[in-house]
Each structure stands twice: as C-alpha cells, then as structure tokens.
Amino acid sequence: MNYQEIASKAKTEWDEMTNGRVPLIRIGTAMCGHAAGAFRVLETLKEYMETKGIEANVQEVGCLGLCYAEPLVDIKKPGKSRLFFNNVGPEDISQIIDEYLVSDGYPKEKVFGYLGEEGPQDDEASLESMPGMRLQNRIALRNAGHTSPYDINQYIANGGYSGLNKALSNMSPTDVIDEVKNSGLRGRGGAAFPTGVKWSFLVGSPGPTKYILCNCEEGDPGAYNDKGILESDPHTLLEGLAIAGYATGASNGVVFIRHGHDGPINRTEKAIEQAYESGLLGENILGTDFSFDIEVALTGESYVAGEETALMEAVEGKRSMPRYRPPFPAAFGVWGKPSNINNVKSLSYAPEIISRGADWFSSIGVNQSTGTAIVCLSGDVNRPGLYEVPMGLTLGEVIDDLGGGVSNDGQLKLLQTGGPLGGVLGPDSKDIHIDFDEMRSAGAIFGSGGIIVGSDRVCAVDLTRVLVAFCQFESCGKCFPCRLGMEHLLEIVERIANYESKPGDMDLMKSVGGTMEAGSLCGHGQLGFGPIRSAITHFEEDFRLHIEEDRCPTGSCDRSKIVPKNTRPYATDHVIGE
C-alpha cells in the first residue's frame, strides 16, 4: 500500500471513532496518570459499563501536560465537544457514567472543561483558555492525550508518517540534513549540540551497518519528558528515527529504555510491531529502496548509562561505563559500527520539521534556541505538569503562569534545573529566559527540561545533600576522581547539614570538585561539582548558618534524614563459588 492509501484508511477509522455512534472515552494513563490512580479508574470504569450494559469506545491515551489534573477522564459524545473530568477517583465513576452517559446531564462540580469546535454545553471552561494549555505549543507532544499510543492508525490519521513519506519521495538525504540544520534544532538531551550537524557526522562513515541510537535512559530525577513522549505517542519517535536513518544512511535504530519503565517499553514495542505490519519499518519502506530496522534495548538502573559511550556499552550488555574518546561514535560506536546518539525529544521533532519545514520550526523560539522547550515542572508549584512551550519564556512565566505559582502560599526560594548535574538558581532567576545559552551563562543549564521548584520552606543545604547523594550513588566507579570525589563531597555536605563542619570544608569541596572536573572521563564527574558550586553561590547564607551558627534556616536539617548511601551492590562481598 502506498502512503495515501494507508492515510485515507486511517482517516476513515478516525472519523468513525471520534464521531461515530458510540461515545469515545479517553483516559490518560501515562506515568503521571498511573501514579494518580488512572489504572484503578480505568478498571472500575470498564466493570461499571459492563454491568450497566453501556456501549462505548474506551481508549488509553497519554499526557495532555496537565499532570496536576490527573486522572483525567475525557468523554466525547457524538455531536458534542470533549468533556473533561479531573482528579477522578474510582468512586466518581458511577456518578459520571449515570449522569452523562445514561442521562444527559453531568456532575458540574467534577467537570474540568471542554475541548472542541462544538463548544461548551453549559458554562464549562475551554481547556484552551487555561494557561496550562494556552501557553503551550505542542510539537513533539502534538498527539499526547489525543491519540492512543497503541494504535498506529490514530497517529497516521493525524498526519503521522507524512514527514517520512515526504522525505522518501521528495527529498535526498542531504536535503533532509539541510532542513534539520536550517531549523536550528539543538539536541534536547542536555548538551544542546545542533542535531543536523550531529547527523552529518554519520553520513561519511562506511556502511552498510550503521546505528542511530535513541536515548531514553532518562534516569534524571525531575525529568519525565522522554518517557512522556514514548508513553503518549511512540510513533513520533519511530518516525523521527526512520527520518534520521534515511538522512544518515543508517541501517538500524535502537531505542534505549530503562528496565522497569514498563509503560514506555510496552508502548514502544507495540508501536514498532505495528509499524512493521504497515510497511513503515523493515525492508523497502513505502515501496522505496530505503530499509530500516528498529529494536528496543533495555538497560539496568544506571544514570551514567545515559552518557553516549556508556549507553553503547549497555546496549552491548556490559557495565555502563563510559569509553575513551577518540575513537568517536561516528567512527567506532555500538558493536564497533558507526553510530549516532540522539535524545528522544530531538528525534521526535524531526517528523514535523520535515512536514512543515525548517522556517516554520525556526520561527518558534528565541535566538539560537529554536522550537519548543518540553518542561517537566515539579516540586512546590500549584500545577505541576509536562508543558511544551516555545523557547524564550521566562522562568517566572513558567512558575507563575503555567505552574500557577508557588504552592501553599509560599515564596519562591530556589529552582533546580537541568537534572542533578545541572544547577540551583535563586529567587532572582525569574527573569531568565529558557534559552540554552542564557541559562548556561546564569550558571545553570536547561538540560533535558526538568525544573524543580523549591519554596521558602526548603533548605538549600538539605537539597544539595540529596543532589550530591544521588551523584555519589550513581557514579559508575570507572574514574577515581569521580568515584572517591563524590564520596568526599557527600561526606562534607552531610557534615555541614549535621552542624559538624570543620574549618576549611568549603575550600576542600572546591578543591575536590576541581579534581573531579579535570580527571573524569564523562560529564558525571566533570559536572558533578556543579550543583554544589551553584548552591554555594546563590545560597551562601544557608551554608553559613549551618557552619557558623549550627542552625538550619527552615529546620529541615534538624530531622534525621534518610539518604541512601553506598547501596550500589558492587560494594558487596558476595563471591561466586564460595
């Protein structure tokens, strides 16, 4: 079948589903929905409809971005707009079904808002008018919350795989790379390296076997956007991977996910299976001479496995420890073959960049940061969520407009951005724009998009201790400056937090940090001192109080804090054969 045939069949199915005879019920079951109890709601809903003998099409969807409203139940009755019920518990199901599906009313107090051209049924608010939606410009997450991740036809009906079709039928590989270069897309994994330039490194490498690796290790606490894309709309990643494969002449794609994250794993594998069945992966894609295979590889729990060379080690089934460079991955990558590593988000933009053009993408954003930022907003805010907004918004707009301000009427004290190796910013950071370069010069990074908000009840020393404990726990152990340095840093920060600091501790930390920076192979050791450096810069007073006055400004260090330490099993004395 050619693309037009596939697309028209998918479109007919979609129209039948969204405006058919029976109501369409969508429930968000991405990780945010899952943790809020969506699967318990889904189960109750299915049971209740069965007992009542009500016919409806029930679909699991991903995250609309409004995690604070999960579990969200979205009901589309024929001829009516979509009506959303928020924070639904299993106990609310009977009332919602009885009033809205059996009769024609609905429990007003449980309604969140509506979405759709048909307009409101009463005085309910439009989701699009809410700041959490209005400020968003969803590109990578365009289908999240709207289509089922388990159904390739829902993706195709919404323009899916048209970017790949366009690339294969109208563009040369060089055209594709130029388009991505011109779009200004920069890698969303943390380093912000131009994606088109990265792809071009692989072009000249000898084939026929070349790999495009997609990194969804996402071990950063505070970041969930990669998992969010895979759980909400895995096909946008697969299409992006295939486009990257065509552009670079690669033969294989590998999606690298952490073991245990079953939502992203299962949905991606199902999507791969469906893409093969539809002829969108495998031999001679869409009847052209381009062939491309994708598989999923799992890693054990290891933050460092997100580093590109450590990732390749893990794909090969070894300990995820970084390799020496050179040779660089484009020359000698996974299994010794030329490889190119991209983040989920970077690849997920590719389909829309190809369909809508580089100019469209580069018109969004600011300066050298084009496109959107996929922000994982968590911590002390009223509306935590997964928001895709144009680059260039200020951190203040993110916290106040998207996030609804600091929770519990608190004052903003700190922001932790860019993952545990990123930085800590102070309350004066509200005017900083989400711009890769501006954030870097402010001493933080945008990184992979995590923004953790801390109110004035948070102690900077306490937070620093958790960040350092994480980095110590996750050091892979290959380079001793990182392995031992992290342990020293944790020891010192704990001393300070326990009011037992010794004279010279602050200088000692800086000296250890300098050694780590100079003597570590990968970013984990090189950047591991970053959180402490930025915390000391912005919260000198918090540190001073602990050191000189033996007190914590918020009292949180007075309680004994359980922070896991040295629990990595390589410290065990278990010996095989004894």
Partner 1 sequence: MTTEKDNLRTSIKEAIDSQKRPTVTVLSSLLAIQDSIGYIPEEAIEEVAVHSNTSINSVFGVASFYPNFRFTPPGEHSVEVCWGPTCHLKGSTEILEIVLAKLGLVSEGDTEDGKVSFRFNTCLGACSQAPVLSLDHELYGNVDSDMAEKLLGDLDQNKTTH
> Which residues 171-210 are close enough to bind partner 1 by CB under 8 A?
none
Smallest separation, CB 31 to partner 1 (Å): 5
Smallest separation, CB 466 to partner 1 (Å): 5
Locate 248 and state its tokens.
């670079």
User: Which residues in 467-526 contact partner 1 (CB under 8 A)?
Assistant: 467, 470, 473-474, 476
- From residue 519 to residue 558, the character string flagging contacts with partner 1 as x (rule: CB under 8 A) and all else as - is ----------------------------------------
Q: Is 145 in the site for partner 1 (CB under 8 A)?
A: no
- From residue 384 to residue 403, the character string flagging contacts with partner 1 as x (rule: CB under 8 A) and all else as - is xxx-----------------
Report which residue type is found at 438: E
Nearer to partner 1, 324 or 570 (CB): 570
Nearer to partner 1, 301 or 359 (CB): 301
Q: Is 136 in the site for partner 1 (CB under 8 A)?
A: no
Nearer to partner 1, 227 or 488 (CB): 227
User: Which residues in 214-243 contact partner 1 (CB under 8 A)?
Assistant: 218-224, 227
Among 110, 181, 483, 568, binds partner 1 (CB under 8 A): 568
User: Which residues in 434-473 contact partner 1 (CB under 8 A)?
Assistant: 450, 452, 454, 458, 462-463, 466-467, 470, 473
Count CB-CB contacts under 10 A for residue 193. Answer: 13
Question: CA-based angle 423:189:256, to the nearest 5?
Answer: 130
Q: Tokens 């960040």 identify what position?
A: 467
Q: Tokens 């496109």 identify what position?
A: 371
Report which DSSP code applies to 38. Answer: H
Buried-state track 135-144, b at ≥16 Cβ within 10 A, e below 16: bbbbbbbbbb
Q: Which stretch binds partner 1 (CB under 8 A): 106-114, 195-203, 506-514, 561-569?
A: 561-569
Count CB-CB contacts under 10 A for residue 78. Answer: 11
Residue 282, phi-psi category: left (phi > 0), alpha (psi -120 to 50), beta (remainder): left
Q: Which stretch binds partner 1 (CB under 8 A): 180-188, 317-325, 339-347, 487-495?
A: 317-325
Q: Is 343 in the site for partner 1 (CB under 8 A)?
A: no
Nearer to partner 1, 305 or 354 (CB): 305
Among 78, 207, 555, 564, binds partner 1 (CB under 8 A): 564
Nearer to partner 1, 221 or 519 (CB): 221
User: Which residues in 2-21 contact partner 1 (CB under 8 A)?
Assistant: none
Q: Is 572 in the site for partner 1 (CB under 8 A)?
A: yes
Report which DSSP code applies to 561. Answer: -
Nearer to partner 1, 103 or 408 (CB): 408
Which of these, 182, 207, 206, lies nearest to 196 by C-alpha position? Answer: 182
User: Which residues in 52-71 contact partner 1 (CB under 8 A)?
Assistant: 67-68, 70
User: Which residues in 66-125 contact partner 1 (CB under 8 A)?
Assistant: 67-68, 70
Report which DSSP code applies to 399. Answer: I
Nearer to partner 1, 309 or 355 (CB): 309
- From residue 264 to residue 303, the character string flagging contacts with partner 1 as x (rule: CB under 8 A) and all else as - is -------------------------------xxxxxxxxx
Q: Please, which contacts does 388-391 make with residues 24 or more away whose CB atoms are closer than 8 Å?
A: 388/65, 388/136, 388/137, 388/138, 388/139, 388/140, 388/141, 389/135, 389/136, 389/137, 389/434, 390/137, 390/364, 390/365, 390/366, 391/364, 391/365, 391/366, 391/433, 391/434, 391/435
Smallest separation, CB 133 to partner 1 (Å): 16
Q: Is 567 in the site for partner 1 (CB under 8 A)?
A: yes
Per residue, what are the HEC states of 92-140? Answer: HHHHHHHHHHHCCCCCHHHEEEEECCCCCCCCCCEHHHCHHHHCCCCCC
Q: What's the CA gap between 187 and 33, in Å, rounded? A: 28
Which of these, 554, 559, 513, lies nearest to 536 by C-alpha position? Answer: 513
